[in-house]
Structure 1
Amino acid sequence: MSRDSSVARNEKPRYSQTEFIVRSALAGGFAGGLAKTAVAPLDRVKILLQTHNAEFIRFAGTRDGLLCALQYIAQTQGVRGLYQGHTLTLARAIPHAAVGYTVYEKVSKWLMPTPESQTSFRRLTAGAITGMSAMPLTYPFELIRVRLAVETNQTATRPTPWSAVRGIMAEGRSSGGITGLVPFLHFYRGFTVSLLGTVPYRGGIFLVWETLNAQARAVLPPATLQANQTRIHLAVGAIAGTVAQIFTYPLEVIRRTQQASGKGTPNRMIGFQETVRSVWMAAGWRGFFTGLGIGLVKQVPTHSLSLASWQLAKKALNI
């Protein structure tokens, strides 16, 4: 645990339960929104590559593919195109981080009330529960964000969140079975894969985060630790995000492909096996790692900023 978290566990609560939750949610929401805003252009390019967009597949695997893709978007869609769908990203990221970090504080305190109880399994479990906690509420925002990100057709009218919502609802109504009766279910394309992937991803992030912070406290002198706390948090957050990204990236590609699949199969939701086959047929095993380089470039600042700013916000809010 971070020094602030460890101290907090040994002190009597200074706030009521409600006030603590509000302050914790504010800290988490700030961290999530800041990190996502910083990497929004990279996130859009990554989604376009993951979904094997016809206009952007030529940039995959090239040395300067990232810069060329960013330049192409800016030239064809303007600077605003780099942030297409970002409002939806924030609509998902802020509550997701607010709920997630708050849940993590509570769950980790329950699972690991003492330093002796801080095992790798419990750290992994706390992170996994954190990742799953906000997904049912925020997942539709992610799906809409992906639909906006993969939209590259140049028309006089820029795609909006409402046009994406109407399109997804129309897909649901045009399909048969239960999704025809409950079209809102189409907002959960890829949800099962997301839930499956968030366990090792979020669990791995918090496992590495807590383990490396504990090692830093054990190895570094207190004065050095205090003077460089933010730098340490930035470095540990980057490592945690990188490790989790590499191990779970194929599941992310499958998830993004399912989320974007309504563009090609609007009348039904494609399943896990069909998605795996389509990715394999398109690019072989390499298809499951398309955009990984950009993903890693994105994850370093994302998790560095998110985890480090979370700690700074907690300090500022005195929790």
Structure 2
Amino acid sequence: MKDGEGRQYSQTEFIIRSGLAGGFAGGLAKTAVAPLDRVKILLQTHNAEFIRFAGSWRGAVQALQYIVQTQGFRGLYQGHTLTLARAIPHAAVGYTVYDKVSKWLSPTPEYQTSARRLTAGAITGMSALPLTYPFELIRVRMAVETAQSSSTRPTPWSAIRGIMSEGRSGGRITALMPFLHFYRGFTVSLLGTVPYRGGIFLVWETLNAQTRARLSPATLQANQTRIHLVIGAIAGTTSQVVTYPLEVIRRTQQASGKGTPDRMIGFRETVRSIWVADGWRGFFTGLGIGLFKQVPTHAISLTAWQLAKKALNI
């Protein structure tokens, strides 16, 4: 492989550099939007203490204020350590896989098609999910804890103990393979990540290609960061809207063990419970703050990824 200045470097060095760039981008983006992410999770899981804030931008701001009042500033970042434990390796693996797969599918610009871009993004989404999903579940469990639901501040260990004690009637498979407790909601997450990640990179690559075709090299060079921020925001917003119902189902399944610790809640039962409670609108609960979060998340992540790759000569 060649770096940005034409120097040769090994596959191992490429993977290390690409992983560092991706991990940096993922960690930076998640830290920037962590407070919004916690509010979104509380709304998506129909938390009784926060459901009154759903349905408006003002409600989202009030929810942030309420967290600070009841749990202090640290409450905005509850579970954030687990977020980083998941986000950094997930982004490192994901962006590295994307770099490799996209080059394999489209070695030259003439090979680039929408189908190849979508496929590369989908493979990226699936690559790190099995490894990092348990961190996601633990983080969600910590995020849904509130001052009223628990008298003590949640810790990763308390969340792990709670998860391991759930689903006792889940059947012989769960009894034989206890680690499956940490994959509650994994199937719907996998179903959602294919169109979600695929859509992000499809929009990202397509708009970047169109921008390169329409603007002069000098204009691109002068405005590259701003262009990447805008395209990243558009890519994240588009995929978020299309796949949001699956995300609500996933979050609800992940949090369901708090209410039904004796058994695992399946996909159909989760869908039915959301529909009975709120109708079709229930599948879009928290979408407003979700978009408010996703716009900066992907704008920051994709732009930071490009800047880090440039700094590391990838």
TM-score normalized by structure 1?
Answer: 0.95
Aligned counterpart, 1:4:
none
Take 2:136 and 2:309, find their aligned partners in 1: how far apart are those partners?
Answer: 26
Aligned counterpart, 1:199:
194
How many residues matched?
Answer: 313
What is the percentage of aligned positions where both structures have the same residue?
84
Aligned counterpart, 1:208:
203
* CA RMSD after TM alignment: 1.6
Q: Alpha-carbon deviation of 1:180?
A: 2.4
Take 2:143 and 2:57, find their aligned partners in 1: how far apart are those partners?
Answer: 23
Take 1:249 and 1:63, find their aligned partners in 2: how far apart are those partners?
Answer: 17
Q: Alpha-carbon deviation of 1:27?
A: 0.3
Take 1:159 and 1:225, find their aligned partners in 2: how far apart are those partners?
Answer: 47
Aligned counterpart, 2:236:
241
Take 1:140 and 1:30, find their aligned partners in 2: how far apart are those partners?
Answer: 21
Q: Alpha-carbon deviation of 1:63?
A: 4.3
Q: Alpha-carbon deviation of 1:156?
A: 4.8
Aligned counterpart, 1:181:
176
Aligned partner of 2:104 among 93, 103, 110: 110
Aligned counterpart, 1:77:
71
Aligned partner of 1:43 among 32, 37, 47: 37
**Residue range with higher mean Cα deviation, 174-183 or 141-150:** 174-183
Local SS of the residue matching 1:39: helix
Say if 2:16 is the partner of 1:22: yes
**Residue range with higher mean Cα deviation, 113-122 or 173-182:** 173-182
Does the 8 A contact of 2:168 with 2:263 survive in 1? no
Q: Alpha-carbon deviation of 1:263?
A: 0.4
Aligned partner of 1:164 among 159, 162, 174: 159
CA deviation digits over 1:212-258, x for unaligned, max 9? 00000000111000011011000000000000000000000000000
Aligned counterpart, 1:140:
134
Take 2:234 and 2:129, find their aligned partners in 1: how far apart are those partners?
Answer: 24
Take 1:179 and 1:75, find their aligned partners in 2: how far apart are those partners?
Answer: 40
Take 1:299 and 1:71, find their aligned partners in 2: how far apart are those partners?
Answer: 20
5+ residue gaps, structure 2: none
Take 1:197 and 1:9, find their aligned partners in 2: how far apart are those partners?
Answer: 34
Aligned counterpart, 2:271:
276
Local SS of the residue matching 1:171: coil
CA deviation digits over 1:82-126, x for unaligned, max 9? 000000000000000000000000000000011111000000000
Does the 8 A contact of 1:32 with 1:97 survive in 2? yes
Aligned counterpart, 1:306:
301
Distance 1:81 1:10, change over 3 A: closer
TM-score normalized by structure 2?
Answer: 0.96
Aligned letter for 1:245? Q
Take 2:2 and 2:196, find their aligned partners in 1: how far apart are those partners?
Answer: 26
Take 2:33 and 2:123, find their aligned partners in 1: how far apart are those partners?
Answer: 25
Take 1:150 and 1:180, find their aligned partners in 2: how far apart are those partners?
Answer: 26
Say if 2:275 is the partner of 1:261: no
Take 2:169 and 2:273, find their aligned partners in 1: how far apart are those partners?
Answer: 23
Does the 8 A contact of 1:172 with 1:183 survive in 2? no
Local SS of the residue matching 1:157: coil
Take 2:105 and 2:264, find their aligned partners in 1: how far apart are those partners?
Answer: 38
5+ residue gaps, structure 1: 1-6
Q: Alpha-carbon deviation of 1:129?
A: 0.1
Aligned letter for 2:82? L
Take 1:8 and 1:304, find their aligned partners in 2: how far apart are those partners?
Answer: 27
Aligned counterpart, 2:118:
124
**Residue range with higher mean Cα deviation, 59-68 or 105-114:** 59-68
Q: Alpha-carbon deviation of 1:183?
A: 2.1
CA deviation digits over 1:281-313, x for unaligned, max 9? 111100000000000000010000000000000
Aligned counterpart, 1:150:
144
Does the 8 A contact of 1:53 with 1:150 survive in 2? yes
Q: Alpha-carbon deviation of 1:194?
A: 0.5
Aligned counterpart, 1:295:
290
Aligned letter for 1:271? G
